[in-house]
Chain A
């Protein structure tokens, strides 16, 4: 079974600054994938970025990047140049198991 842990219930970040959201996971699988999703207050679930366990490079997607440390079983999401529209709940997930989520609030 897989387990995802997000220890930060809420984060505040100043507009245009970067923020790092923590995610650690536990799995016995050799091959796996980690996902990050964004859930704005409107409720929809938006896929942001994916990291495969055998990917040699850290995933990047626009202003989103993953700091993947396989040995530590962590896959932290970095949002650079934060915008007001980034205010949302962010979930780390693996094979259907979601973390508890981190609420990000971007301040002007």
Chain B
């Protein structure tokens, strides 16, 4: 069964460093998403991506964040100059269409120290 894969599963980084979280969406999906879930809290939408550009983003997704689809398979989230409060689980998801269900990857747990 096709699935969304995320790497790494856990990343520890120093405050102020840049991190890149990687995702491989399901191959025939056209919409890609990043979400964040701070431990014990709700799932927060960050950004959606379609046709090689951002289609929607939340207030959380400020200049510190960027997304890219560098090739035909990968979808990355870059966080510049990480802060302690960026520590969270980051989920990538993909869907065939914006109104169909999104399938989630297993998440990357980011710890900023």
Contact = CB atoms under 8 A, between A and B. Distances in A.
A44 interface: yes
A35 B101 CA distance: 7
B99 A32 contact: yes
B43 A33 contact: no
A10 B45 CA distance: 23
Q: Which of B44, B93, B99 has most A Cβ within 10 Å?
A: B99
A31 B103 CA distance: 20
Interface residues of A, number: 21
B91 interface: yes
A35 B45 contact: no
B48 A37 contact: no
Q: Is the interface of B mostly helix, strand, loop or mixed?
A: strand
Measured as residues with beta carbon below 8 angstroms from the partner, the interface class of chain B is 20 to 34
Q: Which of B33, B43, B48, B100 has most A Cβ within 10 Å?
A: B43
B21 interface: no
A35 to B, nearest CB: 6
Given A33-B100, A43-B89, A98 B43 contact: yes
Contacts of B107: 43-45
Given A33-B101, A96-B56, A98-B35, 13 more contacts: A33-B100, A43-B109, A45-B107, A47-B104, A91-B42, A91-B43, A95-B99, A96-B33, A96-B102, A98-B42, A98-B43, A98-B45, A99-B42
